[in-house]
Structure 1
Amino acid sequence: MEWILSYFPAYMLVFCRVTSFFLVAPIFSARNVPAQLKLGLSFFIALIAFSGAGAEAGVVLDGLYILAIVREILVGLCLGFIAYLFFTVVQIAGAFIDIQMGFGIANVIDPMTGMQSPVIGNLKFMIATLLFLTLNGHLYLLEAIMRSYEWVPLSNDLFARMYGGQISDFIVKTFSEVFALSFQMAAPLVVAMFLTDVGLGLLARVSPQFNIFVIGLPLKILLGLLMLVLLFPGYEQLFIHIFAEMMDTTKSFFGLFQNG
């Protein structure tokens, strides 16, 4: 019993980091994943991480322990949020495409989050999720949280990094990278829709008798879907590149705690 009591405070810190990670990490944070499963998985993953990493037993239950819990929750949230950001690439790209295709007001309910999302973005998100699971990406996420204690131990300096601005700079840089990837992903369709608008505008000037508003919307939807069919074979490599960027960014986040 004394052994359990001596290690319990350290285990709770590990549990807080793992649980907060599962709250926001892609796949695991989905609304249709039962809360009991999330808690049970957090408990066992934290137990494995605690025993494998040889976590410190010298954690004292004092006033600073509350700050340690907050710190571990923030570390887990940052890790999960970074991974989730790269999953939003496909939804942001889908929003760009939907606006150009005329689906700007036609949102659907995303079953993963329960929130409204663009039609094309939701389609791409489901394809990306299936590909992520096929590539065992969820196992890489589990490995990332397990190995996080090698890079960010319980006695980390997260608050100092936040005060120094390293964490905020890293998050801003990650946001810009995500938006750049989203624009690159949507660029072919956006350019095609722009050229279609230019062609319709020229047609309206040459032949005013045509009702462009009646012709334009179905034509843009048809061309957009045709472009999607043509581009889908290349999306596999693009998604793999996005997932690789996600893992590299996670490693870079760990590297913040290694630099003096």
Structure 2
Amino acid sequence: MSLLALTDTQISTWVATFMLPMFRIGAVLMTMPVFGTTLLPRRIRLYFTLAITFLVAPGLPPMPAVNALSLGGLLLIAEQIIIGALFGLALQLFFQAFVIAGQIVSTQMGMGFASMVDPANGVSAAVIGQFLTMLVTLLFLGMNGHLVVFEVLIESFTTLPVGSALLVNHFWEIAGKLGWVLGAALLLVLPAITALLVVNIAFGVMTRAAPQLNIFSIGFPMTLVLGLVIFWVSLGDILNQYQPLAVEALQLLRDLAQAR
């Protein structure tokens, strides 16, 4: 009675078939918004990584047969982690544009002190920034943005094969595209900033016209109330502001993956 004999090449091929894609997929799930937040336990993210890997691995291009404990295997693992982390970073920048926009509006209307611990990132953030983050998260999931991310991720194994190091050649080009976040945040809050600036100018004129008027006791609550009204009015156009930024973020993701 003979036992099943497996060679080192066969074992290395099987390990590489599942291990290398798993690190790229896991890096994306650990760093991208929604799935990469502290609200989702690491064990659940690991289960998602294993499930997605076992589902997509049979349809992926052939992986190089390497020894997982060799230097070449460790370099391939590091390459997959870097590629996945860059994908997650591109999506994080999209979400952070709305966080920065909320911080700017909060400061202008006098709600910069109204901050609380963000459960998703574990840091202190303005309340309006957290509100925009939750709103964008619901829009992102409602419009199946996560499915587009997974589609680009799976396609990246064809456009960025394991061991090709194609991403390194375009690193500086990719880094130059990541500076649109601050500009996007400013465009989001430009109408609210302009309206609040007019309000502050009006209070300045009132102070000059009536010096005996206590501008601090009147101006602060009025600026706060008017700022909330302006923010509420600006939410009516949030979808038109979200769509071009989401398209640009997903296009950046496709550029990273060199996908179609």
- What is the TM-score with the length of structure 2 in the denominator? 0.90
In the alignment of these two chains, the number of paired residues is: 252
Q: Residue 144 of structure 2 aligns with which residue?
A: 136
Kindly indicate whether residue 174 of structure 2 is the aligned counterpart of residue 170 of structure 1.
yes
Q: Residue 22 of structure 1 aligns with which residue?
A: 29
Kindly indicate whether residue 54 of structure 2 is the aligned counterpart of residue 47 of structure 1.
yes
- What's the CA shift for 1:104? 1.7
Q: CA RMSD in A?
A: 1.9
Q: Residue 119 of structure 1 aligns with which residue?
A: 127
The CA deviation string for residues 63-117 of structure 1, in whole angstroms up to 9 with x for no partner, is 2111111111000000011111101111000111111011122212222222211
Gaps of 5+ in 1: none
- What's the CA shift for 1:251? 1.1
Equivalences for residues 242-253 of structure 1 within 5 A: 242-253=245-256
| C-alpha separation in 1, matches of 2:168 and 2:133 | 36
- What's the CA shift for 1:6? 2.5
Contact 1:75 1:158 in 2 (8 A): no
Contact 2:60 2:157 in 1 (8 A): yes
| C-alpha separation in 2, matches of 1:92 and 1:79 | 20
Contact 1:71 1:159 in 2 (8 A): no
Partner SS for 1:108: strand
| C-alpha separation in 2, matches of 1:32 and 1:52 | 31
| C-alpha separation in 2, matches of 1:169 and 1:95 | 29
Q: Residue 216 of structure 2 aligns with which residue?
A: 213
The 1:133–1:19 alpha-carbon spacing in structure 2 relative to 1, beyond 3 Å, is same
Greater Rg over alpha carbons, structure: 2
Structure 1 outlier segments of 4+, above 6 Å = none
Contact 2:192 2:234 in 1 (8 A): no
| C-alpha separation in 2, matches of 1:21 and 1:148 | 12
Q: Residue 84 of structure 1 aligns with which residue?
A: 92
Kindly indicate whether residue 39 of structure 2 is the aligned counterpart of residue 35 of structure 1.
no
Contact 1:86 1:243 in 2 (8 A): yes
Q: Residue 108 of structure 2 aligns with which residue?
A: 100
